[in-house]
Amino acid sequence: MTNDELRLISSELNKYLPKNGKLAKAMRYSIFAGGKRFRPILCLATAKTLGCSAKKILPFACAVEMIHTFTLIHDDLPAMDDSDLRRGKPACHKVFGEAVAILAGDALNTLAFKIISSQPEASRVLAESLLTVVEGQAADIESKKKKISVSGLKKIHSWKTAALLKACVRGAALICGAAPKKIAALTEYAEHLGLAFQVADDILDVTATREKLGKPVKADIGKGFPHLIGLERSRKLAADEKIKSIKALVGFGSRADSLRQIVNQYVLS
C-alpha cells in the first residue's frame, strides 16, 4: 500500500458519492471515517499481479469499499452488534440516527452495483459474495445463543470475511481477463488470507486497547478463536494461514509481491 494508492482510491470514491443532503453526509461520514482501504488495495494489488492497470480496476475497487462500508454500518446497529464506535469515531447511527444509517447503507449497496453495472461478471461475483456475507452475519447472530465449535467459527469467518476478500481478487481477475487457473490460485490466496485476518482480529479483540482498534474491544471474547483454543494456538493458526496464503501465489513469481505484502501488512497478530 502506498499513499498514492490511498489518494487514488479516496479521489475515486469522492467522485462517485453524492454531495448534498443528510443521506449524502451519512454516506460520506462512513466512507471517509479513516478505514484502511484493505479491500480496494487488494483489488489493485491483484490487478498489478496480472499486469492490469489500476485505472481499469478502480470502479470495482470503489464498489467493494462501498459494499464493505455498508456492511459495517448495518453491523453496528443496535439490532445487530450494537456497537457505538467504528474506526475510532461514533458509529453512523450514533451521529445520524438509526433510520438514516440504515438508508446510508442501503444507498452505498445500490450505488456500488450501479458503478459496476457495465461489468456483469464482476457484478455477479460481488453479489454472490454479499449474499454469503449476509448469511454469515445471520449465522454469527445465531451462534451467540449456543456454544460454537472451531469448525463452526471457521465457517462463519469464511462467510463473513473471506467471501468479500475472494470477491476482490476474483472480480479484479475477471476484469483483467485472467485465465481460470490464475483465478483459482488467487481465490485460494484470499480464502487463507481471510481466515488469517479474522483470527488476528479476534486476537486483537482480546489483547489490544479500544484506542488502538478504534472500536469496542472484547466484543467477541466469548466466541472468538482465543476463547475456543487459547491465544497461543490462535497465533499459530493465523501464522499457518498466512503461510498458506503466500504459498498459493508461488506461480506468479515476483509479480505477486504486492499481494504478499498485504498478508504481512494487514494480518497482525
Taking every pair of Cα atoms in the chain, the longest distance, rounded to a whole number of angstroms, is 49
Question: Which pLDDT score, from 0 to 100, does residue 257 have?
Answer: 97
pTM of the complete model: 0.91
Question: Which pLDDT score, from 0 to 100, does residue 1 have?
Answer: 59
Residues 6+ apart with CB under 8 A from 179: none
Distance from the Cα of residue 40 to its chain's centroid: 9
Question: Which pLDDT score, from 0 to 100, does residue 221 have?
Answer: 54
Report which of 201, 154, 180, 177 is spatially closest to residue 36, judged by C-alpha positions: 201
CATH number where 14 lies:
1.10.600.10
Task: Write the pLDDT tens digit of every residue in 86-142.
Answer: 988 999 999 999 999 999 999 999 999 999 999 999 999 999 999 999 999 888 888
Q: Domain containing 123: what range? A: 3-266
CA–CA gap between residue 197 and residue 165 (Å, rounded): 10
Which residues does the chain have with pLDDT short of 50? 269
- In degrees, rounded to 5, the angle at the alpha carbon of residue 191 between the alpha carbons of residues 14 and 132 is 70
Report which of 242, 164, 163 is spatially closest to residue 203, judged by C-alpha positions: 242
Report which of 249, 122, 244, 241 is spatially closest to residue 185, judged by C-alpha positions: 249
Question: Which pLDDT score, from 0 to 100, does residue 214 have?
Answer: 56
Report which of 60, 56, 11 is spatially closest to residue 32, judged by C-alpha positions: 11
- For the chain, how many structural domains are there in total? 1
Question: Which pLDDT score, from 0 to 100, does residue 81 have?
Answer: 87
Cell of 236: 499459530
